[in-house]
Amino acid sequence: MGYGDCEGGDLKAQDTAVELYKLAALMLGNENEALSLVESTVADVEVDPCAPEDVGVDTARHHLIEAAVARMNQADPKAFAVPVQGDGPVTCIEDDDLSAAGISAAQIAELISGASGAGSGVRLRAWLDELPLAQRAIFVQRAVLGWDNDATAASLAHGVGAQSKWSAAQVGESFRQALCSLANALVHAEAQKVTA
């Protein structure tokens, strides 16, 4: 994946690599594995250096996410088993939208970058590490990348293989559960700030 032949190509390549690394680290929870995944993505994805940036970056994102899901599935093949209806807890949120949980896309971006205070990026990472692997993968795709349920279900199918039968509705339910968990974690973090 190279941008060197076009104006600003090196900077675009750097920015893309940093974004891919952040995504890989959120998905895998391990910085060394994340770096390895970014390196393989950069080596595997052929991007026209003069094509519109969004096209190349989107291709790299999809490749990285599907490869991350495949690695996560390989580490724990049962983690991506489709939940049976009623397996999970009833969610506290009716809609699978960030705003339904009282969280904005900007807040998610701040949590990821750590911009909302010392350690917030670490807290998000710790919270993500507590999620079941499939739910973590779904949360990153829906909340961080802004993909819809259908695109997320498709990436799970590509990453896990034919045995993955996640529907858009099941992805939405899992995402709502993650949003409830995040909203709860944020409320507890705020309460701890007040009492500290």
For 15-51, what is each residue's pLDDT tens digit?
A: 888 999 999 999 999 999 999 999 999 889 876 656 6
3-state secondary structure of 52: coil
HSE (CB half, 13 Å, CA atoms) of 22? 19
Regarding whether 15 and 103 lie in a shared domain, the answer is no
- Which pLDDT does position 98 carry in this prediction? 56
Read off φ and ψ for residue 141, nearest 5 degrees: -70, -45
Residue 118 predicted with pLDDT over 50: no
pTM: 0.80
179 vs 195: CA distance, rounded Å: 24
Please state which of the ranges 1-5, 161-165, 178-182, 188-192 shows the lowest mean pLDDT: 1-5
Domain end residue (candidates: 75, 105, 130): 75
- Which pLDDT does position 192 carry in this prediction? 61
Regarding whether 87 and 46 lie in a shared domain, the answer is no
- Which pLDDT does position 53 carry in this prediction? 63
Regarding whether 125 and 56 lie in a shared domain, the answer is no
Q: Which residues form the domain of 192?
A: 83-196
Q: What percent of the chain has pLDDT over 90?
A: 39
The total number of structural domains that make up the chain: 2
What distance lies between CA 100 and its chain's CA centroid? 19
Residue 180 predicted with pLDDT over 60: yes
Q: What is the mean pLDDT of residues 3-19?
A: 69
- Which pLDDT does position 2 carry in this prediction? 45
Which candidate, 186, 112, 118, 116, places its Cα nearest to that of 143? 112
Residue 87 predicted with pLDDT over 60: no
- Which pLDDT does position 84 carry in this prediction? 74
Domain end residue (candidates: 75, 92, 113): 75
